[in-house]
Amino acid sequence: MSVQFEGRRSASFPSTPSGVRLETLGCRLNEAELEGWSREFERRGFRIVGDGEPADLVVINSCAVTQEAVRKSRQILRRVHRANPAARLVVSGCLAALEAEALARESGVDLVVSNRDKDRLVEIALAALAIPAMPELAIDDPAASLFTRGRQRAFVKVQDGCRYQCTFCITTQARGAERSRPIPEVLESVNRLASNGIQEVVLSGVHLGGYGSDLGTDLADLIARLLAETDVARIRLGSLEPWDLPEGFWRLFEDGRLMPHLHLPLQSGSDAVLKRMARRCKTDEFARLVGAGRAAVPDLNLTTDIIVGFPGETEDDWCRTLDFARTMRFGQIHVFGFSPRAGTLAAGLPDRVDAETRKRRCQELKTLADALRLDRLREQIGTRTQVLFEGPPVLPPDVGRSGYTPNYLPVRIAPGLPIASNQLCDVRLTAIDKTGSSLIAEPLDRRGGVE
Domain at 384-443, CATH class: mainly beta
How far, in Å, are 13, 45, 53, 61 from residue 17 at the CA level? 8, 10, 12, 21
In sequence order, what DSSP letters do the residues of 161-204 get, joined into one string? Answer: --S---TT--HHHHH-S-EE--HHHHHHHHHHHHHTT--EEEEE
Q: Is the pLDDT of residue 142 over 90?
A: no
CA atoms within 13 A on the CB side of 259: 28
pLDDT at 139: 62
Instruction: Give per-residue pLDDT as tens, 405-444.
Output: 999 999 999 888 888 889 999 999 999 999 899 999 999 9
Instruction: Give per-residue pLDDT as tens, 335-375.
Output: 999 988 888 999 999 999 999 999 999 999 999 999 999 99
Domain chopping of the chain, boundaries: 3-137, 152-259, 263-380, 384-443
**CATH second-level architecture of 152-259?**
2-Layer Sandwich (3.30)
Q: pLDDT band at 147, cuts 50/70/90? A: low
Percent of the chain with pLDDT over 90: 57
One CATH from 1.10.3860.10, 3.30.750.200, 3.30.2310.20, 2.60.120.260 for 263-380: 3.30.750.200
Domain 152-259 shares a fold with domain 263-380: yes
Confidence (pTM): 0.86
One CATH from 3.40.1710.10, 3.90.110.10, 3.10.180.10, 3.40.50.12160 for 3-137: 3.40.50.12160
Coil/strand/helix, residue 269: coil
pLDDT top residue among 266 and 118: 266
Section 256-285 average pLDDT: 97
Coil/strand/helix, residue 335: strand
Q: pLDDT band at 136, cuts 50/70/90? A: low
Q: pLDDT band at 138, cuts 50/70/90? A: low
Q: 90-94, 148-152, 209-213, 343-347: which has the minimum mean pLDDT?
A: 148-152
